[in-house]
Amino acid sequence: MTNSDFKWDTKRLQFDTVIKPFESEDEELNDFLLNDAKHYLVQRLAVTYLIENETDTIAYFCLSNDTVQRSMADKAGWKRVRKHIPNAKLRSSYPAVKIGRLAVSKKYVSSGFGKLMIQIVWRIFVSDTQQTGCRFITVDAYRNATDFYIRNRFDFLTGEDESDKTRLMYFDLNNISL
Ligand SMILES: CC(C)(COP(=O)(O)OP(=O)(O)OC[C@H]1O[C@@H](n2cnc3c(N)ncnc32)[C@H](O)[C@@H]1OP(=O)(O)O)[C@@H](O)C(=O)NCCC(=O)NCCS
């Protein structure tokens, strides 16, 4: 099954949204959506986007402002970050958006919804109505999800977090044409 075999809709979580049942394989991510996402919204710490059908929350992700800074990368990582930035625009930090959390319900994994969410982030940040400059997407990727992000053309910022629980990854929004 692919996501085109399902009827689904996307929406931005509001304080009065009734969140439909959601169960991914990660308890912490389930708990965040059901118990914390609205508080993050009210405190302006993260905005949550939902993909849902009539009965279920199929998937969700959260976004917050971020920066990619020289101090976050190793030498090779920083070189990759700046590879496509013209010399005149080189600086020690660049505006970014962070995917704070991203998960697909167990019932719907491997149907393309993970990839779809990455593409939704592209569309939000690479559009003619974009209000602020934003060059990169960042994510603290769980170890079991780094390959998912690599398949979606993310790269590592540093090798120093190789044995950490999460790895810092980035995607250059100038790598896409919609
Ligand atoms: C990781 C996760 C988001 C992937 O979502 P999904 O909807 O199953 O992924 P998709 O069906 O869109 O797959 C997109 C591509 O990534 C690949 N992929 C998906 N999960 C992968 C994984 N864990 N490792 C390697 N590749 C993976 C798919 O094979 C597919 O490749 P293709 O484009 O070459 O065909 C989902 O499994 C999940 O919610 N996991 C639990 C929570 C989690 O780990 N979230 C990440 C937090 S940082």
Render pLDDT for 92-132 as a digit per residue (tens, 0 to 9): 999 999 999 999 999 999 999 999 999 999 999 999 888 99
Tokens of residue 157, six digits:
């910022």
Q: Are 82 and 90 contacting, i.e. CB atoms less than 8 angstroms apart?
A: yes
Kindly report the pTM of this predicted structure.
0.95
Q: Which residue positions in the chain have pLDDT lower than 70?
A: 178
Tokens of residue 15, six digits:
């304080």
Residue nearest to atom 37 of ligand 1 (CA): 109
Chain position carrying tokens 């910022």: 157
CATH topology of domain 3-175: Aminopeptidase (3.40.630)
Mutation probe of ligand 1 site: the residue of 102, 117, 140, 148 with most atoms within 8 A of C-beta: 148
Which of 140, 84, 107, 75 minimizes the C-alpha distance to 3?
107
